[in-house]
Amino acid sequence: MVEFSWFGISLKDVSTTFRTYVTIMARALKPILIVFYPRSEIAKTLPKEYKNNRKLRCIIDCSEIFIQKPQDLQLQAATWSDYKHHNTLKFLIGITPQGSIAYVSKLWGGRTSDRHIVSASGFLQHLHPGDQVLADRGFTVEEEILMAGAELVKPPAAKGKAQMTSKDIAKTKRVANVRIHVERVYQKLKTFSILSKVIPIAIRTGGFDDVLTVCCAIIKHANFHCPTLG
């Protein structure tokens, strides 16, 4: 059995200990740090450029983590991402206008559509009538968001237009400014080596959902200090 020479313990013991404590950390940290705040709380500390848009609840996006190619053919198909041209695990994340992580879903196979993840992840249960949710052009989940009584806001489509109107340009700029928060969160997630490398497929069975949750909770605690949103 392979052992760590520094500590004299087996890889199996290290793996078991890691999984146990990551699970405990995820269950403890998620309820207090990964919080989907009510719109009334978010509105209290909206950035000044969004003071006139008090319905804005969050920005959503899907991201993918590279994994090793599974030997099982069904898993290969389920995790293959046409977008990344690699086997991946995919998750939905929600960010407040202040840049705080409000929601992170469990991991899905890279083949899973954004639409299915939004519908099946439990995200829609957090929305209330009148909420506005921002997303990129590729998110075709208008019907799902509408069924929850909310509104999906996306940049105006440029395809087929000879020239965008000044109104469309202004809207595109507003959405882009908010989406900067999503990119910042992704950059912070990549600072965790466990998320920035190709993940061994065996780790998935060890609760990688919990690993992602803990990483998001650490980011939230370390980088966002809003007096109202925490």
Contacts 24+ apart (CB under 8 A), 147-152: 148/124, 150/57, 151/55
The answer to whether residue 76 sits within a structural domain is yes
pLDDT at 113 over 60: yes
Chain segment 120-146, per-residue pLDDT in tens: 999 999 999 999 999 988 888 999 999
The answer to whether residue 31 sits within a structural domain is yes
**Contacts (Cβ under 8 Å, ≥6 apart) of 85:** none
pLDDT at 225 over 70: no
pLDDT band at 4 (very low <50, low <70, confident <90, very high): low
Residues 203, 191: Cα–Cα separation, whole Å? 19
Residue 168: predicted pLDDT: 53
Q: What average pLDDT score do residues 220-225 get?
A: 64
The answer to whether residue 69 sits within a structural domain is yes
Q: What average pLDDT score do residues 33-41 get?
A: 90
pLDDT at 206 over 90: no
pLDDT at 228 over 50: no
> How many structural domains comprise the chain?
1
Chain segment 62-91, per-residue pLDDT in tens: 999 999 999 999 999 999 999 999 999 999
Segments forming the whole domain that contains residue 39: 3-157+164-223
Q: List the one residue out of 98, 112, 82, 103 whose CA is nearest residue 36.
A: 103
The answer to whether residue 106 sits within a structural domain is yes
The answer to whether residue 32 sits within a structural domain is yes
- Name the least confident of 5-19, 58-72, 127-141, 206-220: 5-19
CATH of the domain at 31: 3.30.420.10
Chain segment 147-195, per-residue pLDDT in tens: 999 999 888 665 555 566 655 555 556 666 667 878 889 999 989 998 9
| Average pLDDT value for the chain | 84
The answer to whether residue 229 sits within a structural domain is no
CA angle 20, 187, 94 (to 5 degrees): 70
Task: Tell me what percent of the chain is helix, strand and coil, each rounded to the nearest 5.
Answer: 45, 20, 35
The answer to whether residue 61 sits within a structural domain is yes
Sheet strands (E) in the chain: 3-4, 9-10, 56-66, 80-81, 86-95, 101-104, 108-109, 132-134, 151-153
Task: For the chain, give the percent of residues with pLDDT over 70.
Answer: 81
The answer to whether residue 8 sits within a structural domain is yes
Residues 33, 226: Cα–Cα separation, whole Å? 12
Residue 136: predicted pLDDT: 86
